[in-house]
Amino acid sequence: MLRYAFRRLSLLPLSLFLLSLVCFGLLQLTPDDPVRRLLPDEQARMSSNDPGAYDRSYRLAAASLGYDRPAFYFTLQNTALPDTLYRVARPEERSVLKAFTLRTGNWPAVQKYYHTLKNLAWEVRPEDAPETSTTLRRLLLQDDFDRAKSTLSTLKGNPGLTSLQLAFQEMENGKQQSRLLLPSFHWHGTNNQYHAWISRLLSGDPGVSLTDRRPVGSKIGRALKWTALLNGLAILLVYLISIPTGLYMAGYRGGYFDTITTIGLFLLFGIPSFWVATLLTNFFTTPAFGMDYFPSMGFGEIPDGSSWWQIISIRGAHLFLPVLCLAYPSWAYVSRHLRRSASHELDQAYIKTARLKGLSRSAILWRHVLRNASFPIITLLAGIFPAMLAGSVLIERIFNLPGMGQLLYDAALTRDWPVVIIVVLLNGLLTAIGLLLADLAYAFADPRVRLNGTKPSAS
């Protein structure tokens, strides 16, 4: 078992590295501009009245965030593209340059055209020539080559337009199709965005939120304690109810208890928890139906100087309904699987021997059957850690609980991708740990399980 655990732990860094690559790739593919969102409002307003100053502010902000570096240790791209394209800070500008270069294969001519366009777009003021100014600024974002050509042919009335049209013709006529046929490999070293990002993570700095500029670690830490409390109580409740229920269903299989419990568990498993949560909040948390027994929102405010009994009373009143809604779907899963495993064990020869020794039904179920039939309980154990982190988005939304599910929902809604990516990464880490603990628990519960794949020797 120790050798298996060591082997699995040795593979954990590789798994986390691959998961970090996936998370970082998703972060790069998100349709958002974090630099623009982090710029102060007064600088963001300069994009229309003073685009040159805005461009300088944008490049400085991108450099401070490390976005002027290559994304990864190396790039594999078309030969026509320069290995310094990452230095173009604004993603829409980089998209235009990349599209035109892949169309013509002539990077110097594309660069000349875009610089001419940018200078002209900044020189022509909207109050002097509103239509020309609007068209030029749209061309800065136009990555369709044919549409840009059609738009340029309609522009007249400014001496600078001639040089712009000549630059476009030079780019179009100077196509270098041969450069578009070959790939190129560029090594950038450790001075890249991924290396800086993973280094910050390993040092305990997951970055800042894009919505409120708060550290991501503090936001996750504040929500994590509530989700861990909520899910920990729910899992404890599942074990306390499901284990005796499943065992006694197997012990009295075919009887009234087994039949009635099976029907009840089947109904519980089929009723959506969010629907039950909505009904409970409507009937038991409002005075409209005369059953205002529980508070409806949050975890409750603890007054200063409260005793431990007051704290438990306040927290318990707020936690009872959400814990119940989180726990009851798992009752059916664990109870039914435990019943099936226990029924199989009750047909074994060692159970018949225990009966011949005069052991009671309860002693047989708890002393002999439970350990050998505990695989469904262990399977649920594998999902405990990620469940405690991820939380339940619907339950926390319905009861307005500031946990991880609520945090993840709000972050996705506001496109706060640093928070979303860190939560996904932590979920992957805790899932790997949970699976490892479950495998070790399988071997502990049943010595016949061989984790290293070897068979027990015959004796």
Average pLDDT over all residues of the chain? 82
At 59-78, the pLDDT tens digits run: 888 888 888 899 999 999 88
Query: With 60 as the cut, is the pLDDT of residue 450 above it?
Result: no
Matching residue, tokens 């173009």: 88
> Can you tell me the mean pLDDT for 215-242?
87
Give the pair of three-digit tokens for residue 330: 């798992």
The residue behind tokens 């020797």 is 457
**Tens of pLDDT, residues 174-200:** 888 777 778 889 999 999 999 999 998
What pLDDT sits at residue 457?
A: 40
DSSP 138-206: HHTT---HHHHHHHHTT--S-HHHHHHHHHHHHHHHT--GGGGG-EEEEE-TT-SHHHHHHHHHHTT--
On the question of pLDDT at 412 being above 90, the answer is no
Identify any residues that bridge with 215 across adjacent strands, giving them in sequence order.
208
Contact indicator for 109, 209 with CB cutoff of 8 Å: no
Q: What does the pLDDT read at residue 129?
A: 79
Q: CATH 1.10.3720.10 in the chain: give the residue spans.
A: 216-445
d(CA 413, CA 102): 35
The dihedral built from the CA positions of residue 128, 134, 139 and 144, taken in this order, carries a sign that is negative
Residue 86 has what DSSP assignment? G
| Integer Cα distance of 301 and 306 in angstroms | 11
Q: Which CATH architecture has domain 216-445?
A: Orthogonal Bundle (1.10)
> What average pLDDT does the segment 105-113 reach?
91
- To which residue do tokens 């226990």 refer? 342
pLDDT of 97 over the 90 cut: yes
101 burial level (CB within 10 Å; 0-12, 13-18, 19+)? buried
The 10 Å CB-count burial string (b at 16+, else e) for 340-368 is bbbbebbeeeebeebeeeeeeeeebbeeb
User: Nearest to residue 294, comparing CAs of 314, 271, 274?
Assistant: 314
Residue 4 confidence (pLDDT) above 80: no
Q: Which of 4, 13, 3 is nearest to 429 (CA)?
A: 13
- Averaged pLDDT, 17-28: 86
Query: Cα–Cα distance between 135 and 158 in angstroms, integer?
Result: 13
Q: For residues 317 and 456, give the distance between their C-alpha atoms in angstroms, rounded to a whole number.
A: 52
Q: Work out the angle at residue 297's Cα, subtended by the Cα atoms of residues 293 and 301, and round it to the nearest 5 degrees.
A: 95
- Find out whether 404 and 391 touch, Cβ atoms under 8 Å: yes
Looking at the predicted structure, is the pLDDT value of residue 228 above 50? yes
Structure-token pair, residue 403: 């946990």
Q: Name the phi and psi angles at 359, rounded to 5.
A: -70, 145
Contact in structure between 291 and 198 (CB atoms under 8 Å): no
Q: What is the arithmetic mean of pLDDT over 427-441?
A: 77
Residue-wise pLDDT tens digits, 26-69: 888 877 788 887 777 766 666 666 777 788 888 888 888 888 89
What pLDDT sits at residue 435?
A: 77
DSSP label at residue 456: P
The encoded tokens of residue 189 equal 């070293």
Helices (H), 347-391: 349-356, 361-363, 370-372, 375-382, 384-390
Residue from 206, 211, 188, 215 nearest 68 by CA: 188
Q: Tokens representing 140?
A: 């800065």
Alpha-carbon gap, residue 296 to 311, rounded angstroms: 17
Place of tokens 């300088």: 56
Phi, psi of 292 (to 5 degrees): -80, 70
Structure letter (DSSP) for residue 445: H
- The encoded tokens of residue 226 equal 């509530």
Whether residue 446 has pLDDT greater than 70: no
- The average pLDDT across 193-215 equals 88
pLDDT band at 107 (very low <50, low <70, confident <90, very high): very high
Percent residues over pLDDT 90 in the chain: 8
CA distance 2 to 10: 12
Whether pLDDT at 348 is above 60: yes
**What does DSSP assign to residue 78?**
E
Q: How far apart are CA 47 and CA 58, in angstroms?
A: 10
pTM, full prediction: 0.76
Residue 455: the pLDDT is 41
